[in-house]
Amino acid sequence: MTSSSSIEFSHYQFEDLSLNDLYNVLKLRSMVFNHQQRLIEISDGKCIEIDDKDSNCIHIIGKLPNQQIVATARLFDKQSPLKWGRFAVDPNHQKTGFGTQLLDYLDSIIDSKPIEMNAQSYLVDWYSKFGWSISGSEFLECGIKHVRMIKNM
């Protein structure tokens, strides 16, 4: 783990992502969900990281000054409530504040619109600090406990 430094956030529609950024977003998600969290193994091969939904999303990217992408998430912006997910921070930089910065950035772009997510249950207390509330019962997704959380509704 390295110490926290500032990262610069930006967001793009899928078709406006550079090839390089797209590659590095997918690489980061694969590193976090497939390798760190072992979702392929836990879900018995049923969890597909690259799931054909990315072209419907805005992609949030957090870059270090050296341009390395260390944080990402995707936002389904053409629906109400909005929905977001695939929230991941580079394992070498987790727990140094980048996830918190991304949550603040998300707030800055959604303009207080209603939004939902399927949150991994281990993070419920943390998300609650940012105004998210539980809506419904816990369920398994990709072999991991999740709960629907909502904000601004």
Q: Which residue is nearest to ligand COA (CB)?
A: 99
Q: Distance (Å, rounded) from C-alpha 134 to C-alpha 146?
A: 10
Cβ 48 to ligand COA shortest distance, Å: 16
Q: How many CB atoms lie within 10 A of CB 146?
A: 19
Q: Which is nearer to ligand COA, 109 or 123 (CB)?
A: 123
Q: How far is the CB of 26 from ligand COA (least distance, A)?
A: 15
* CA angle in degrees (0–180, nearest 5) for 55-81-136: 115
Q: List interacting residues with ligand COA (CB under 6 A).
A: 32, 37, 87-89, 94-100, 119-120, 122-123, 126
Is residue 116 within 8 A of residue 92, CB to CB? The reply is no
CB of 10 to ligand COA, least distance (A): 17
**Closest to ligand COA by CB, 24 or 37:** 37
Return the CA Rg of the chain. 15
Nearest to ligand COA of 16, 133 (CB atom): 133
91, 36 Cβ separation under 8 angstroms: yes
